[in-house]
Structure formats: C-alpha cells, structure tokens
A and B are shown apart, each in its own frame.
Chain A
C-alpha cells in the first residue's frame, strides 16, 4: 500500500536532513480511492539501515505466532493485512471512527487502525477469522448469517469481533451509558445499540444485527 522513495535531493534542507516523498492511499467509502502524496524531511540517519525505523516484533494472531519486522509507523491493522496476509479486519476510515478494523487485543476489542504494532510486541490478536475454531463458525458468525445481519459485508468482521468483545464486557459487569439503574446490566436493544456504537454500517443492516447479537447473548 505504501511506497516511500527516500533520498530525493531538494534544495534548502538543513545539513543532516534528507527529503522523502510518501504516497499514501486515501481510502474512501464506496468505490473511489485517491492517492495522496506528501513531501517531508527527516534526519539522514534514518537511511543508514541502523534499525531506527524498523522493529522486530512477535504477534500471536488467531493462535499462530508471527515474527515480523515492521516499520515503527505500522499499525496492527496494516501488519495483519499487509505483512501477515490476514484480511479479515477491514480498513474503513483508518481513523478509529468506523470500527471495521476491530480485533481483540489481549482479549479486548480495540480499533487496530490506531494501534501501533511496535507498541504491542508479544500481544495476542484475535480477528473474526480466528473466532472460528476447528473450521466451526463462532455462534456470533452463525447468528449473523441466520439473521441476515449484513448487506455488503465490509463492516461485518469488525461488527462480529466487536459484538463478541462487547458480550465479554457485559459478562464482566461493565455498565454502559444506556444502563438504566447504573447497577444491573440486562442487554436491552438500547444497550446493544449504545455498546455497538463504535461500529458503523453504511448499508444500515443494524436492524438485523440487533436480533443477531441478542440471540447470542440470550444463550
């Protein structure tokens, strides 16, 4: 996705600095994508290959250990998709606003697009793909299928992981903004809407997601 061409010569750079040009794919919802380029300057020692920008990390993804060398800027989302080849979590907004990239990080749901891989060396990551064990769909997968809880499917892996993480939070007794008496949590429709508000669906399949999640929670 990302190309970096370093070492261009640009006038007026202070000594010890070199310039680079970075193309970054700018993702939009829908079928339009734009490439965006930006010039920047950075210290020349970054080019010496002395490991300033690269880090060796280990991630345990869906039960399998991966040893990776990542640029310090790499998010867990990009490490999963680009380095490991696990395209289950999706890149929607890439700014923590849509939830399509949701994974469980050491058991908790997070936005993998805002999570730097280098800061989570040794972490356990579970994607929607990893929720399926021994080829068996997770009950949440099955419920989404049974309730027709998606249309285009792009946000679905994030919705499913988020719902699974959310039910663990309810199990732990965490209240939410929608919890009526502030004490006892019963998973009403309003509770599900509130707790799942970090996952957007442009197809607006919410109406079917609600019963899909509720059915799993009732079991």
Chain B
C-alpha cells in the first residue's frame, strides 16, 4: 500500500480545507471500500482525512415529516431504525440485502453512496480500465461483462454502481446534503451519480473535497408501501445482478403514484421514470406492469454476456410492482 498521511480534522470545515491543497487526498469514513482499494493499489491517496467522528450519526424526523440521516450513521443502524423500517421499508431491505453483518457495522451512510464499482478490471491494476486509468481502454467491453451495465453505458465504460442502499434512496426521492469548498448544497440522488460518458473516472458530480454530511428523505405518504427485491448469484453476501426498489400508491385498483429504481443495470442507480409515467393513473395489472417495464428496457443495450439482465430486470420489476399493488398476493 502506498504510504499516506492520516489526518483528523476538528470540524467539517477543517476537513474540507484539509483536502483543498491535496488533489490526491481522500476522505475516510467506515473504510470498507477505500481500504480494500488501497490494498489493491487502485486507490492511492497521499492523505486520508478521517471524517467518521465529525459527522452526525443521528436519525431524526424533520419538521416537514421527513427524516434526516447523519452521514456517519452505520448501515446496520439505519437498517434497524424503527422509523425507517415502518415508513421506508425499501431502504431497510436494501441495506439488509447488501454486504455482511460485519461490513454493515462499519460502513457509513455517506460512504455507501461513494463505493466504487466492483468491475473486475477496475480492481485489477494489470488490466486497462478507463475508470481507473482514463484513456487506457475498457477491458470489459469485449471481456468478462456478465455483471455489467445494460442501460446508459458508453464505449468508455460499462461498469455498474454496486450500492443497494442508493437504489432505494433513488426510489424514495432522497437528497444528499454536501459541504464543500463552494459551500453547502442539496443534491437529488438521481443527480448525484453520473453516467460514464467520456469521463468514466467520475462516479458522481461531487467536487474534490466535497463531503456528504447528511441524507434527507422527504415525506412520502406511500413510501410505507415500498419494497426492495434483489437477485444475486448466491443467497447472501453478493452484489446484485439486478435489483428493484419501488414504492406504490394504489387506490381502488388504480396506480395513483409510483416510484421505481433499478440496481445492477447501470453506472448509477437507474430511476425508471418511463415505468412511472406509463403506470400513473393506470389500472393495477400484471400486463400493465409488464408493458411499462418493457418501455423502460426497450433502450437496453446488452453486452456479449449479459443479455439475461433484460428479461430479469423486467420480471423483477413486474413481480415487485405486483407485490406492492396486492396483485401478487
């Protein structure tokens, strides 16, 4: 592992200025991903600024009826929180379907968003990878790509975002609150992560030295009727091949409102807005769910090894929406 300096700032503004003159520096939260990547030689920071103890680890209800989650809240505490479990069950389920008990105890809410892809080529410094080494090429395009993206990828990168939590957050219309060199901002989850385009090295729109300090879940009456369904290669402790987070407001057999996001299919949590548009105001039925899912997936561009993800994503969406509508029971 490359030598680095370890720093602990007094407060959030101190942490931000500690990285201002350190272009190769990084923040350290729970460390579950960056320490691994440092061992692999994929991440090579000069400085680690430890922010875990600086940030809130509280989960509090806000005045408008939403919930504010401190960025340092461990994944396990967020999953176990009674308010989250009853009002935003998809979020609790997403967290519990990710990683292991040990990792969930270490991983923070803020850090979970910023995990890097588990693309094998990204993690292997002996192979070309545009995300790790811009301009070196994408080994997955014609290589091992069965776990890779089917939506929104580019000729430069076909990696997927690994987080389960972020997919649920996308479906629940969450915002991240950040503090950075240019002040504070509030970013919708949908805008936090980027598609690869010709800059696959950038996972998010965050500036260097910009720190996620909290996450806000807005009040959403029907978020208590939400669900996370994940398909993976083994029953536990594996990344998603495809996952779906959805929330649905049903009245008299009609979809009044709906939120759908997909995991494991793109460089970012994929908000399925076409599904949502197609279903609003429509009667609840498996045929309607299937038709809506197919509209979303009509733009899918599978690679040599992952065309299975198209019907899988469709079926997982149909099943999840059916469950939420009461049709599947």
Contact = CB atoms under 8 A, between A and B. Distances in A.
A209 B4 CA distance: 41
A195 B76 CA distance: 12
5 contacts: A20-B3, A42-B2, A95-B40, A105-B105, A173-B80
A150 B100 CA distance: 21
Interface stretch (B27-35, B212-220, B255-263): B27-35
Interface residues on B, range: 35 or more
Nearest to A179: B96
B102 A109 contact: yes
Nearest to B37: A95
Contact of A52 (B5, B41, B52): B5
Interface in B88-119: 89, 92-93, 96-97, 99-103, 105-106
Interface string A76-93: 000000000000000000
Given A173-B80, A175-B80, A176-B96, A165 B5 contact: no
Interface string B166-203: 00000000000000000000000000000000000000
B100 A38 contact: no
B33 to A, nearest CB: 9
A116 to B, nearest CB: 6
Given A40-B2, A72-B48, 10 more contacts: A53-B5, A73-B3, A95-B39, A108-B76, A111-B103, A116-B6, A165-B101, A169-B76, A182-B85, A198-B100
Given A43-B46, A119-B28, A198-B237, A72 B105 contact: no
Interface string A31-56: 00000001010110010000011010
Nearest to A117: B6
B1 interface: yes
Contacts of B307: none
Contact of B28 (A95, A99, A116, A172): A116
Most buried by A among B40, B76, B96: B96
A219 interface: no
Interface string A150-188: 000000000000100110010011111100001000000
A31 B190 CA distance: 47
Contacts of A148: none
Contacts, number: 113
Interface of A: 20, 22, 24, 38, 40, 42-43, 46, 52-53, 55, 71-73, 75, 94-96, 99, 102, 105, 108-111, 114-116, 118-119, 162, 165-166, 169, 172-177, 182, 193-199
Contact of B235 (A53, A55, A72, A194): A194
A99 B100 contact: yes
Nearest to B3: A42
Determine the main DSSP class of B at the interface with A: mixed
Contacts of A176: 96
B41 A38 contact: yes
Given A109-B102, A165-B101, A172 B31 contact: no
B220 to A, nearest CB: 19
A46 B105 CA distance: 33
A162 B102 contact: yes
A182 B224 CA distance: 13
Given A40-B2, A118-B6, A175 B31 contact: no
B96 A175 contact: yes
Contact of A99 (B1, B38, B102): B102
A110 B105 contact: yes
Most buried by B among A43, A55, A198: A198
Nearest to B234: A197
B4 A197 contact: no
Nearest to A172: B80
Contact of B89 (A169, A174, A182): A182
Nearest to A103: B102
A59 to B, nearest CB: 15
Contacts of B106: 110-111, 114-115
B48 to A, nearest CB: 8
Contact of B102 (A20, A42, A172, A198): A198
A71 B31 CA distance: 16
A196 B1 CA distance: 30
A46 B235 contact: no
Given A72-B6, A175-B96, A194-B235, A110 B102 contact: yes
Contact of B32 (A72, A109, A114, A173): A114
A29 to B, nearest CB: 17
A193 B3 contact: no
B323 interface: no
A108 B3 CA distance: 29
Contacts of B71: none
